[in-house]
């Protein structure tokens, strides 16, 4: 016999590989997301904050430019010294913005660029101090000349540097956005690759499972067919053996005992001593009792009335016999017109009734039973019910089916019918058998 290899090992290997792939891909995706988060924190957010400070610096420089233009024109009647407080305020704002900008400056900006920017701004404020010193000493023309010749050019240079830094920040942000988009694209592509690989793996595993299950189901179906055929043969052999033994008891032992009884009756009529006649009578009574037991035995093995009178007459004969033997009162009800039930169907229905009542007598502890036989145009329904202790609960360890219940299930399956063992709400046990009478190919002996 060819040894079957269990698919469990391959399935566990496939599951382990799949879980490992999911874990690796999850780790890769988390790593990419962490990289995106760092990139956004280090470049994008930092550039935006730096650009905001540069715009503040640029606004202050523009404000200084407008003030210096007014100072050069000389339209203000209060003189140049009137602008000192405003310059001081703008200088404080610029220094504060510059400190914040130094903290947000992109990492790729060179320190030399930062030092150059700070140096130019320091030179500008030095020139501003000189200009206000000249104005304070009454040399406003020289102060205005210093503004037009030096301060305006320094302010323009600083403004140009700030604008250049803003452009660099924008370019850096665009490059970061492109890198982020590239990472997103790569992750999305890898997700598609992973999903494709996962779908292919699932398809392969599913195909393998389907193939394995189909092979197992085919083997189970073959085994089920073989089991049904074996059950049919065993039940057929059992019925043939029981019928043969019943016929032998009827034809051989029954006739012999009947003949012995007749001979004893004739002997008792002869002129014999009274004591001998009494002995003959005792032997005759024993012979008659043995004959009754033999008849009961071969009728229980295979009732001849089932072959001669059919299923209903077999029921009508067996139920009173059961009542006499067990003392259990049986209420019998028959519904529907009586169809012709073949011998192959009748013997199995009769055996189900017999086994149900035997189980009832052994286990139910009930003093009464109900037997209902119903005929419909294409079905036969049999119910055997009691009000005894009932079947064990499904979770009970003792709720194992005996050989009798298994045999009843086998007989129902051979007839292509259905049998149920139920627990009615009123208590007790209900055995319900449903057999099709018009189905093609029911078991025939």
- Would you place residue 39 in the very low, low, confident or very high pLDDT band (cuts 50, 70, 90)? low
**Whole-number percent of the chain with pLDDT over 70:** 82
pLDDT of residue 433: 94
Does residue 261 have a pLDDT over 80? no
- Would you place residue 369 in the very low, low, confident or very high pLDDT band (cuts 50, 70, 90)? very high
Does residue 237 have a pLDDT over 80? no
pLDDT of residue 394: 54
CA dihedral over 13, 18, 22, 24, signed as positive or negative: positive
pLDDT of residue 441: 44
Does residue 395 have a pLDDT over 60? no
pLDDT of residue 399: 44
d(CA 18, CA 201): 8
Does residue 75 have a pLDDT over 70? no
Per-domain residue ranges of the chain: 8-209, 303-436
Contact partners, residue 73, CB within 8 Å, separation at least 6: none
Give, in words, the CATH class of 303-436: alpha beta
Does residue 443 have a pLDDT over 50? no
In three-state secondary structure terms, 401 is: coil
pTM of the predicted model as reported, rounded to 2 decimal places = 0.49
Average pLDDT over residues 16-44: 72
Does residue 31 have a pLDDT over 60? yes
Strands 429-436, 418-422: pairing kind: antiparallel
Q: What does the block give as tokens for 220?
A: 């189970």
Counting runs of H as helices and runs of E as strands, what totals does the chain give? 12, 5
pLDDT digits (tens, 9 = 90+) for 277-326: 777 777 877 877 777 777 667 666 667 777 778 888 888 888 998 898 88
Does residue 40 have a pLDDT over 80? no
Does residue 398 have a pLDDT over 50? no
Q: What is the CA radius of gyration of the chain?
A: 55
Average pLDDT over residues 61-76: 81
Strands 429-436, 379-386: pairing kind: antiparallel
pLDDT digits (tens, 9 = 90+) for 83-103: 888 888 988 888 888 888 777
Phi then psi dihedrals of residue 272, to 5 deg: -125, 160
């Amino acid at each position: 016999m060819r040894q079957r290899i269990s698919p469990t090992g391959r399935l566990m290997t496939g599951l382990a590989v799949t879980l490992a792939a999911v874990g690796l891909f999850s780790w890769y995706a988390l790593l990419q997301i962490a990289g995106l988060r760092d990139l956004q924190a280090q470049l994008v957010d930092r550039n935006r904050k730096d650009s905001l400070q540069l715009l503040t610096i640029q606004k202050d420089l523009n404000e200084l430019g407008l003030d210096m233009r007014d100072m050069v024109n000389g339209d203000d009647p209060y003189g140049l010294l009137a602008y000192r407080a405003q310059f001081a305020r703008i200088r404080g704002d610029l220094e504060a913005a510059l400190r914040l900008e130094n903290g947000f400056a992109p990492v790729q900006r060179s320190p030399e660029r930062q030092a150059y920017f700070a140096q130019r701004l320091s030179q500008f404020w030095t020139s501003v101090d000189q200009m206000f010193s000249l104005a304070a000493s009454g040399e406003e023309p020289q102060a205005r000349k210093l503004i037009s010749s030096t301060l305006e050019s320094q302010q323009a240079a600083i403004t140009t540097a700030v604008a250049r830094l803003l452009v660099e920040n924008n370019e850096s942000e665009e490059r970061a956005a492109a890198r982020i988009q590239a990472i997103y694209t790569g992750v999305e592509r890898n997700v598609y690759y992973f999903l494709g690989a996962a779908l292919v793996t699932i398809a392969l595993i599913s195909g393998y499972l389907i193939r394995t299950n189909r092979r197992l189901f085919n083997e189970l179906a073959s085994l089920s067919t073989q089991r049904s055929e074996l059950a049919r043969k065993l039940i057929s052999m059992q019925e043939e053996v029981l019928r043969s033994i019943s016929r032998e008891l009827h034809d051989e032992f029954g006739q012999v005992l009947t003949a012995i009884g007749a001979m004893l009756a004739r002997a008792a009529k002869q002129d014999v001593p009274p004591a001998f006649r009494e002995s003959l009578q005792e032997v005759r009574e024993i012979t008659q009792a043995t004959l009754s037991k033999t008849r009961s035995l071969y009728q229980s093995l295979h009732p001849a009335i089932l072959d001669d009178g059919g299923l209903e007459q077999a029921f009508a004969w067996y139920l009173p016999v059961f009542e006499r033997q067990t003392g259990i009162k049986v209420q019998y009800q028959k519904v529907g017109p009586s169809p012709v039930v073949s011998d192959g169907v009748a013997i199995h229905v009769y055996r189900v009734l017999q086994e149900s009542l035997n189980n009832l007598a052994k286990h139910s502890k009930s003093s009464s039973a109900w037997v209902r036989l119903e005929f419909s145009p294409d079905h036969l329904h049999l119910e055997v019910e009691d009000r005894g202790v009932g079947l064990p609960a499904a979770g009970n360890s003792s709720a194992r089916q005996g050989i009798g219940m298994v045999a009843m299930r086998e007989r129902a399956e051979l007839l292509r019918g259905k049998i149920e063992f139920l627990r009615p709400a009123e208590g007790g046990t209900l055995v319900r058998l449903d057999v099709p009478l018009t189905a093609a190919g029911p078991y025939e002996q």
